[in-house]
A and B are shown apart, each in its own frame.
Chain A
């Protein structure tokens, strides 16, 4: 079929090969976000160490029963941990870095969100299209068999990617920021409903902790998939855009 050579699919593929795999803003915000996430995670763990007990509802302290306690030593002598030593207090710089990284993350997220709305990145690459149980099962099978993506798939995201990225961007991150703000006595003075809706301060803190676990799970999966699908090539594409032309396998 002669006209297939000029088919739109092939034509558009040829046209975009020169364009980077990931747009500049996607790459910039991806690495800023990586930096912020690492800082927030490390300092967040440090903050949990000062009180590794979690509660549900409005209040919770060493005089009240915990929902659960993480079996780690604490940086405060007032918390009964079963360990005979108390870790050094690191909360000063941890809190400062936590909020500074939080600000950078929010500003980065705004830049990413607004630009992705305007340039169609969300619509073209993140909107889960063709969601069905069959498609999900097929895509999961492909992942479990560790099949490498086909060249055409390399220009966008597959269904599982779209679903997990959308979940992280539209559910987990907003929930993380919200529960973080819901722990602020100034923020809740201005917007009391922001914390009341979770059932109180301690509930917000506990949700903040669990969303962290989901985000860590995402990062582990994400990095594992990057390694399995070609670490150098994938990370290269996220740094400089598109290092090599796509290898056609025929």
Chain B
């Protein structure tokens, strides 16, 4: 064995040990500070965890970019067509008069709300971009009520760490950490571009999380559940998307 080869071997061992120790220390530190995502295991766990931890440390409460009215995408864009589910069609025919939003889980007062009740709460609007993981994007104006308002209304327990959001589509569910759930731009939206939300865009209620990719902004929202852990939901990965291999935290 030549000197060079020996030196290479020692260098390799040192590098691998150094990087390994660094990573496991970082993982422990991240876990202690709530910076590990529910889908942080498995082959791509390190990348997903780094994304989540880095973006959480980076963004704080900084708002997503907002746009001028003139920048609203014209014609408006919908990803795919409205769902053809018979239950949905019935609700649609009745003008969503019987549509309910339930708030349950770790709350003092489990609450059920109609669209009319939701529209009576203080409204807020934003002109933000939907960025899709596929590559397209569109800007729309969204009108609705801050998600934080519903958490206050139902009396969210201080131990709650996640807000699980369900929709009429059983596999389309997701969850937010409290940073996003309490963020002023996170809405339960009922209006889009000066009108009701079109069916293809998620009528009557759509979650809007403008700091994450489009698939987090669930359409056809029916339920908000507060929880201190995501283990009891589905496969414990935090969303229908992450069960299908997409990252739970979709800030990039």
Which residues in A have some Cβ–Cβ distance to B below 8 Å?
18-20, 24, 28, 47-48, 50-51, 53, 58-64, 76, 78, 91-93, 95-97, 99-103, 181, 183-190, 192, 195-196, 201-202, 205, 240-242
Contacts and interface: CB of A to CB of B under 8 A. Distances in A.
B245 A93 contact: yes
Interface of B: 3-5, 7-8, 11-12, 15, 44, 46-48, 50-51, 55, 58-60, 62-65, 67, 71, 73, 75-77, 79-80, 129, 131-139, 210-213, 244-247, 251-252
Contacts of A188: 64-65
A60 B211 CA distance: 18
A60 B138 CA distance: 6
Contacts of B67: 58
Contacts of A50: 133-135
25 contacts: A28-B11, A47-B135, A50-B134, A50-B135, A51-B134, A51-B135, A59-B138, A61-B73, A64-B75, A64-B77, A78-B80, A93-B245, A95-B247, A97-B47, A99-B247, A100-B47, A185-B212, A190-B60, A192-B65, A201-B137, A205-B135, A240-B4, A240-B5, A240-B8, A242-B4
Q: Which of A48, A183, A190, A196 has the most CB of B within 10 A?
A: A190
B252 A61 contact: no
Given A61-B77, A241-B4, A189 B137 contact: no
B245 A186 contact: no
Contacts of A47: 134-135
Contacts of A186: 55, 58-59, 211-212, 251-252
A183 B51 CA distance: 14
Contacts of B135: 47-48, 50-51, 53, 205
Contacts of A59: 71, 73, 129, 136-139
B246 A95 contact: yes
B174 to A, nearest CB: 15
Chain A binding surface SS class: helix
A189 B77 CA distance: 23
A99 B252 contact: yes
A63 B44 contact: no
Contacts of B44: 93, 96-97, 100
A28 B137 contact: no
A196 B135 CA distance: 17
B59 A190 contact: yes
Contacts of B139: 58-59
A185 B131 contact: yes
Nearest to A52: B135
Contact of A24 (B8, B65, B210): B8
Nearest to A201: B137
| 5 A-B pairs with least C-beta separation | A92-B245, A100-B47, A186-B251, A51-B135, A96-B44
A18 B7 CA distance: 12
Contacts of A101: 47
A50 B136 CA distance: 10
B246 A183 contact: no
Contacts of B58: 186-187, 190
Nearest to A90: B245
A62 B77 contact: yes
Given A59-B138, A61-B137, A96 B47 contact: yes
Contact of B137 (A48, A58, A102): A58
B18 to A, nearest CB: 10
B11 A91 contact: no
Contacts of B64: 185, 188-189
Given A95-B133, A186-B58, A61 B138 contact: yes
